[in-house]
Amino acid sequence: MAAKIADRVYNGKVEDLDELTGELADIVDPAGLGRRVGAPGASTDACLEIRRLIWGHKAAEAIVTGSPNIENRDLFQVRQMIRDGWIDYCRDWLSLRARASNPDAFEPPDAELQIQRASGVFLVLLGSHLESQAASRPA
């Protein structure tokens, strides 16, 4: 699976990642019971993980190429989402860790975690925001 994802990413076929959702779901939830990974309230499934990859790459592409145009208001909204998410995580991480299928995924909220994850979180949220903005524009 990792090779298939890498092949699409490195060959500029990020849009084709959606084709892998079913295969990834078979790995995450082989019995097809709707299994999610993480903790209640902070879980994910195959579809969301594929979307996160796409959003991150789309945002990076927008930053590099300038298309779509990223307005200051977009950056402010993403910054607020990051701030709100960090506040929630600082409050809830011990509870999430206690209930998680993989407790190690919920690390202590410290500066090191912020540094490690900041760019990825920013790109995923920006990509999601840009997709939402594009979907809400009249055709």
SS3 of the chain: the string is: CHHHHHHHHHCCCHHHHHHHHHHHHHHHCCCCCCCCEEECCEEECHHHHHHHHHHHHHHHHHHHHCCCCCCHHHHHHHHHHHHHHHHHHHHHHHHHHHHCCCHHHCCCCCHHHHHHHHHHHHHHHHHHHHHHHHHHCCC
pLDDT confidence of residue 40: 67
Q: What is the pLDDT of residue 44?
A: 75
Q: Is the pTM of this model over 0.85?
A: no
Cβ atoms of 123 and 58 closer than 8 Å: no
Task: In whole angstroms, give the CA distance from residue 108 to residue 97.
Answer: 9
Query: What pLDDT, on the 0 to 100 scale, is given for residue 30?
Result: 82
Helix axes 2-10, 46-65, angle to 10 degrees: 20
Quick one: pLDDT at residue 3? 85
How does pLDDT run along the chain (139 residues), one tens digit per residue?
A: 788 888 888 888 888 888 888 888 888 778 887 777 766 667 777 788 888 888 999 999 999 999 999 999 999 999 999 999 999 999 999 999 998 888 898 999 999 999 999 999 999 999 999 999 888 877 6
pLDDT at position 78, please? 96
Q: What is the pLDDT of residue 38?
A: 67
Identify the pLDDT of residue 136. Answer: 85
Whether residue 58 contacts residue 127, with contact meaning beta carbons closer than 8 Å, is answered with yes
Predicted pLDDT of residue 27: 80
CB 102 within 8 A of CB 58: no
